[in-house]
Chains A and B, each alone.
Chain A
Amino acid sequence: MGKLDNIESAVLVMGCPQVPVQTTAVLYIAYKLKQKGISVNIAGTPAARMLIKYADPESHYFDAIKDLDKTIGDIVEKREKYPLCFVFIHNDAGVSYATTMDSVMDSDVYPVIFGSNAEELSDEIKFECEKIVAVAAHNPKPLINSIDGVMKWDA
């Protein structure tokens, strides 16, 4: 059985959009999830949300874009539930968000770690998970390769 079988919805948690590959990686994963029939929810800061909104104006690749803090509140208070979560990480704050999502959700959490300090940040993720890691800032290909390697979309 593939790791995405029987998954109905996912949340993609964006951090600060300081590193260019983040938006590409979010849309790529969203596209792959949509192909599997999974409802895609994107949570992010206002700037991160704007980048996604105007990169996909007709919402082909996502079902909803949500405020990051509100999404965390909705999950903590059990108003929303996502069996699958990706957290995009290029700084310590991203590590905090990933660890928080693992703590408040009974879900599979995949940290997607990129930027120049990706390997060091990866060591800061202590919870049990499969990590997606690539030293990538401008060229998304190493990160896409890592995403495909971990997710094995067609399995």
Chain B
Amino acid sequence: MGCLDKLPYEILLRNSSFSECREYIKKNFKEIYEVKPGYKIFDVYIIGVPPITIGVDGNDLVFPYTKPCHGTFLVKVASDEEAARLRKNKK
């Protein structure tokens, strides 16, 4: 899925459903944003069942990431730029 594969990322959940990802983020993050499928982040377009929930902690972004053969993962990637863009777009 684009250049996300080339970034350092941490997998928080494997083979999970979108509702499981959403619940995990709501339970563990105070700063939460909802985006539509197709939202561009790290040069990739997020795939999923709306609303897609993104958790932010400082410059860490946590969001669902779907691979056709492997299902949906919840991943954490640090980016000052993407965190700032998300905050700006949603304010």
Contact = CB atoms under 8 A, between A and B. Distances in A.
Interface residues of A, number: 23
Mostly helix, strand, loop or mixed at chain A's interface?
A: helix
A104 B38 contact: yes
A104 B48 CA distance: 11
A93 B50 contact: no
B85 to A, nearest CB: 16
Contact of A18 (B38, B45, B66, B69): B69
B68 interface: yes
A69 B70 contact: no
A84 B70 CA distance: 27
A37 to B, nearest CB: 29
Given A91-B71, A95-B49, A103 B17 contact: no
Contact of A100 (B2, B37, B71): B37
A96 B38 contact: no
Contacts, number: 62
Given A69-B45, A72-B45, A93 B38 contact: no
A15 B68 contact: yes
A142 interface: no
Interface in B12-60: 17-18, 36-38, 40, 44-45, 47-50
B17 A100 contact: no
Nearest to A76: B38
Contact of A76 (B1, B18, B45, B70): B45
A27 B43 CA distance: 31
A127 to B, nearest CB: 9
Interface of B: 1-2, 17-18, 36-38, 40, 44-45, 47-50, 66-72
18 contacts: A16-B68, A18-B69, A48-B68, A69-B2, A69-B44, A73-B40, A76-B38, A93-B67, A96-B47, A96-B49, A97-B47, A97-B66, A100-B38, A100-B47, A100-B48, A103-B38, A104-B37, A104-B38
Shortest beta-carbon contacts, A-B, top 10? A16-B69, A100-B37, A76-B38, A103-B37, A104-B38, A16-B68, A96-B66, A100-B47, A99-B49, A96-B48
